[in-house]
């Protein structure tokens, strides 16, 4: 089934992005999106069933975009989502955009909370772009975040918005199937300054082994066991006083791949 999604005119790229995040990336649903002269988001099937969602953020004036006027108005309202059969951390959800309202008819559902606008605020880090309250390194500090002020810094609000959206969609179209989601491990490494250095004892041992291999012809074999390496101040592999003699030999053993030094 392909859902039809109608969004207000304006901010087409932003609305296309957040629709893809929630409907496709999170839920795995097929849909077609089109801008219309409306003041809300309509999701329908062309056969009378319709989900209406408030569009607060993306109906604000273009002059307000990326200014303080496009941020959520405080204090935030809270919506008791007890009438929606969704899996939530807490039944009270923060309302960043829109109003805490919900109604359901036989063939329609209306959400007063702007789910797409609120999710965009978090995923696009809108407040970080707008705020001028930065730390000494030019970064937006968590201490200035709206999430901290309302004690939701560690709450998966976007995931909860998605659960509300899915509950409403499934109520109108019980035949819909969402994409299964599970936890996976993705390891990443943040290296700001890459350095290549070895303990002095290890450098000495490697150099000795290279010299032995050149004179004995037995590669890395040695007539005595290597000495234990103790923690010592590091030294660059390429800055030793006698490096020129054995650097070329060791470089060839690395196929020319010399570590970059900083």
- My answer on whether 101 and 145 are in the same domain is yes
pLDDT band of residue 197 (cuts 50, 70, 90) is low
Over the stretch 26-84, which tens digit does the pLDDT of each residue have?
Answer: 999 999 999 999 999 999 998 899 999 999 999 999 999 999 999 999 999 999 999 99
- My answer on whether 221 and 124 are in the same domain is no
Whether residue 61 lies inside any domain: the answer is yes
- My answer on whether 43 and 154 are in the same domain is yes
- My answer on whether 147 and 210 are in the same domain is no
Statement: residue 217 has pLDDT above 70: no
Share of the chain above pLDDT 70, in %: 79
- My answer on whether 28 and 149 are in the same domain is yes
pLDDT band of residue 233 (cuts 50, 70, 90) is very low
DSSP 53-72: EE--GGGS-GGGTTSGGGSP
Whether the Cβ atoms of residue 130 and residue 28 lie closer than 8 Å to each other: no
Higher pLDDT, 115 or 244: 115
- My answer on whether 225 and 147 are in the same domain is no
Beta bridge partners of 254: none
Q: Which residues form the domain of 227?
A: 198-253
10 Å CB burial of residue 163 (0-12, 13-18, 19+) is buried
- My answer on whether 162 and 202 are in the same domain is no
- My answer on whether 163 and 207 are in the same domain is no
- What is the domain count for the chain? 2
Whether residue 192 lies inside any domain: the answer is no
């Amino acid at each position: 089934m392909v859902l039809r999604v109608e969004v207000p005119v304006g901010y087409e790229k932003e609305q296309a992005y957040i629709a893809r995040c929630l409907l496709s990336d999170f839920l795995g649903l097929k849909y077609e999106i089109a801008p219309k002269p409306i003041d809300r988001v309509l999701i329908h099937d062309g056969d009378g069933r319709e989900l209406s969602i408030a569009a607060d953020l993306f109906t604000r004036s273009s002059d307000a975009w990326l200014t303080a006027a496009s941020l959520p108005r405080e204090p935030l309202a809270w919506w008791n989502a007890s009438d929606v059969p969704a899996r939530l951390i807490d039944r009270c959800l923060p309302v960043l955009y829109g109003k805490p309202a919900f109604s359901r008819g036989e063939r329609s559902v209306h959400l007063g909370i702007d789910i797409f606008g609120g999710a965009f605020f978090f995923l696009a880090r809108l407040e970080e772009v707008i705020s001028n309250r930065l730390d000494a390194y030019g970064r937006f500090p968590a201490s200035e975040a709206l999430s901290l002020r309302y004690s939701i810094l560690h709450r998966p609000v976007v995931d909860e918005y998605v659960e509300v959206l899915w509950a409403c969609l499934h109520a109108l179209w019980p035949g819909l199937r969402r994409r299964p989601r599970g936890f996976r491990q993705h390891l990443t490494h943040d290296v700001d300054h890459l350095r290549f250095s070895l303990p002095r004892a290890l450098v000495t041992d490697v150099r000795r082994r290279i010299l032995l291999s050149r004179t004995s012809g037995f590669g890395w074999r040695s007539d005595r066991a290597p000495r234990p390496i103790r923690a010592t101040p590091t030294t660059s592999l390429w800055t030793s006083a006698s490096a020129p003699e054995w650097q070329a030999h060791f470089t060839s053993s690395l196929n020319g791949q010399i570590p970059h030094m900083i």
